[in-house]
Chains A and B, each alone.
Chain A
């Protein structure tokens, strides 16, 4: 996708309807819709997304628990 092309925002579901299980801030299912069809290894894209999204999860829960 060209960086100059403005992205059309995908339709967002209300917060209450988004499944946000433990470990998740922004679910892969939601994120995947923002990509064009993935040309390479989708499992890799998903794995890295979920690992880094879990860091964001840990951030807020560590604020609550440890700090």
Chain B
């Protein structure tokens, strides 16, 4: 590794970590959440980066080499469909198979009556979440896998062997990818580890949002107990997958916690208590959370403000970032707030003007990281990402 590259890496790491702890580094760090954008830039199809993670890694390396970014997610096309196909998971529309090769993968939530968790299975889940997942959920979402008690098949065994070995290979490969980013580009990995809210697990992968909406009226106490049963497991996975050096945050990807998906009362009762507990437990161990608030989360700010200082980096999507800054900017670093439709339809000058507005409004006292509002896919114009990067480098100096 060249000394120059390592020096660049250390500068960027210090800049990024300082900002995440709500401090004022030498300049504003740039950490774009780029997913299928990297494929567009590097000349790969969505199918290539989604089905072959080696190409996804290569696309990220090319971007990190060419753009002056401080941090980047080592691979943000997070669902490796080669793996999901090998296991036999049936809930994705896969580019090149179910979708054209140039369209990103999508999760297919089943119709309410075919939800992956039935309405009368709360007690099973609550008593033993891991057992429920292996014995009930997995056979339902994966036709290859047989339920305990049914005759075993070679296909069942192959699903586990392929899945287990592929998953090990994939996660091991991240180590090499992170090393390449450091050695070849001097770029810091943006995140380490994964977390989702208990309520979102119920809504996305188990009951489905429609089914869960009915449960909120018909069996609310079970919904609460299910979130409480899931929480310690989600905490465990976050810890097991987190950065051993405790410098990089765990990515928390939230979904149904905002209006209008839930009322403020429903958020307070069902979504928030267990999520707050997980975030606090992580912070007790010195682990920050990247709080990716997808959608309009500003009505929830009064609860988010309860979290310990510096425990999260608050990522802004559709919310008014200036209000977020006014309300919680003293406690937490912010990121995001540059609208994706501007990056798709605007000119580079439009983008620069907006970046200036956001920097002037929320970054002057430190604790801000430049990024788009939502994860950047193939709709994002390359010249606009270049404009966002170059402008922030030039204007975002403390």
Contact = CB atoms under 8 A, between A and B. Distances in A.
Contacts of B205: 64
Nearest to B141: A63
Interface string A48-59: 000000110111
B237 A15 contact: no
Contacts of A59: 163-164, 167
Interface stretch (B12-20, B76-84, B296-304): B76-84
- Main DSSP-derived SS at the B contact region: helix
B163 A22 contact: no
Contacts of B8: none
Nearest to A61: B237
Contact of B240 (A15, A18, A21, A23): A23
Contacts of A61: 130, 133, 233, 236-237
A22 B127 CA distance: 13
B42 interface: no
B134 interface: yes
A67 B91 CA distance: 10
Contact of B133 (A23, A55, A64): A64
B127 A16 contact: yes
A53 B345 CA distance: 50
A62 B201 contact: no
A63 B130 contact: no
B163 A24 contact: no
Nearest to B142: A63
Contacts of B236: 22-23, 57, 61
A66 B127 CA distance: 23
B78 A66 contact: yes
A62 B87 CA distance: 12
A33 interface: no
B131 interface: yes
Contacts of A45: none
A57 B236 CA distance: 10
B78 A24 contact: no
A32 interface: no
B167 A22 contact: no
Contacts of B133: 60-61, 63-64
Given A61-B233, A62-B237, 7 more contacts: A20-B129, A23-B236, A54-B240, A55-B168, A63-B89, A66-B79, A67-B87
